[in-house]
Amino acid sequence: MNDNELFDLMCEKLYTAVVSDTLDELGHRNQVMRENIVPLSLEWIVAGRAKTILAVDVHHIPENPYEKEIAAVDSVKPGEIVVGCTNESKQNGLWGELLSTASKARGARGAIVDGLIRDTKKILELDFPVFATGTKPVDSKGRGLVIDYDVPVVCGGVLVYPGDVIFADRDGVVCIPQNLVQEVVEIALDKATRENHTRDELLVGKTLREVYDKYGVL
């Protein structure tokens, strides 16, 4: 199964809660980003490889303020999700319509930003899944500067390495370490199936104790 098939399967069959539970079972209990990183559309479900971008706040307009930002977006590969670390900036509107358009055209599956974004109407029309902490209609020039990309970043309190798998839906954003992806997906698919059986039997009147003893999920 190639990456795109895997990511499509995750989006069809899984949800962040079951993936988070699976990571907990494997001893990785800090893989869910902060609750304030939310999607523009609650309908969006997205999975892909982390393409990390690191930005910092600035208080001047540097020479060539977009140089690293342009290079980062132009290097996006199919199947990636941009993970934009702004160090939770309240002044930098890192992401917007044009970066979303350029990323989508290069095959990106979405973007996760631990800060503010703009052009949300256009992003929604583009149907490019973007998760962020809020909106602010400001340009990054003179407020934030991309200083590196394809490096480990902390986004929403989670350490993300390039190539980790990001999975996100209306409940939140989960980061799966790349060496655990196959194991996590296999366990999560099994758990999701058992949860479906549990739900079906609860609906016909079985007690929670009965179905928990049978399927072992809650």
Residue 186 known to bind ligand: no
Residue 99 known to bind ligand: yes
Residue 96 known to bind ligand: yes
Residue 119 known to bind ligand: yes
Residue 8 known to bind ligand: no
Residue 118 known to bind ligand: yes
- Compute the Cα dihedral for 207, 209, 215, 217 and give only its sign: positive
From the annotation, which residues make up the binding site? 96-99, 118-119
Annotated binding-site positions for substrate: 96-99, 118
| Residues that constitute the known binding site for Mg(2+) | 119
